[in-house]
Amino acid sequence: MTLILSRRALVTGAGAAATALLTGCDRLAEHESVRKALFTADNFHLWMQRAITDRNALAQEFSPDQMSPVFRANGTFNPNTEDYKALWRNGFADWRLKIDGLVDRPLSLSLAQLHAMPHREQITRHDCVEGWSAIGKWRGVPLAVLLHAARMRTTARYLVFHCADFGGGTDPYYESIDLVDAFHPQTILAYALNDRALPVQNGAPLRLRVERQLGYKQAKYLMRIEAVSDLASIFGGKGGYWEDVAGYQWYAGI
């Protein structure tokens, strides 16, 4: 009898404790200090990965028969602004990619100029933060080529990618990466997907491919690349649209 009672009490107690723990966790996470502690894990994983892995390790590349039959798009499917529509109607002939910030020679490049530059082709896996993956073939200009051409200064620490789309709200989409990823050989500005000009839903006319990170880092509808020493003064200061708006990890290598 006592045993049965104690069992019942224990089960009820455990249930109550679990519920308390859960709501407790939700409440805890609202505290700024707890949020900060939780968010330090982001830095830990970045530090850990950089410490134990080869910084130049290449993301896996696949053969054409391993590609996804359909490469799904996500996020913005069309920026739908008047400016973007005007560029699109004209086949992006008036579009220019600006490279400025901490560079000695700011650039303004047309799509035709990018096409004429050295390019890299890679069949890689795109991993969305939501969990799905798609394998596609990208062609584009290595970012390192452009950074050398623009004579990036040694004070630059990050590259900020400004986009033509507004991620749902009023804030423009943007992303940023550090120099380890910026000069990685697979980091390219892609103008073609699966042997066709980059479709609008995938970021036409140009998108970033930073193959060792998740999908939200692969900024679409690129307009401008800015070399900066610090991310704090850019928009919300967290280094990216989703980082500012929803608290996503800046380092999306996990």
Shortest reach from residue 64's CB to other proteins, in Å = 13
Q: Which of 1, 52, 104, 195 binds other proteins (CB under 8 A)?
A: 52
Shortest reach from residue 20's CB to other proteins, in Å = 12
Of residues 109 and 143, the one with the C-beta less far from other proteins: 143
Looking only at residues 151 through 210 of this chain, which bind other proteins when binding is defined by CB under 8 A?
none
Q: Which of 12, 44, 229, 237 binds other proteins (CB under 8 A)?
A: 44
Tell me how far apart the alpha carbons of residues 132 and 129 are, in angstroms, rounded to a whole number.
Answer: 8
Tell me how far apart the alpha carbons of residues 123 and 127 are, in angstroms, rounded to a whole number.
Answer: 13
What is the number of other CB atoms lying within 10 angstroms of the CB of residue 199?
15
Tell me how far apart the alpha carbons of residues 25 and 41 are, in angstroms, rounded to a whole number.
Answer: 16
Instruction: Check binding of 133 to other proteins (CB under 8 A).
Output: yes
Q: Which of 39, 83, 94, 196 binds other proteins (CB under 8 A)?
A: 39
Report whether 237 contacts 244 (CB < 8 A). Answer: yes
Q: Which of 165, 175, 211, 226 binds other proteins (CB under 8 A)?
A: 211
| Secondary structure E strands in 39-187 | 97-101, 107-109, 120-127, 133-142, 158-166, 172-178
What is the number of other CB atoms lying within 10 angstroms of the CB of residue 185?
13
- Binding residues (CB under 8 A) for other proteins: these are 6-7, 10-11, 14, 18-19, 21-23, 25-26, 29, 37-39, 41-42, 44-45, 48-49, 52-54, 57-60, 62, 66-70, 72, 125, 127-135, 211-214, 242, 246-249, 252-254
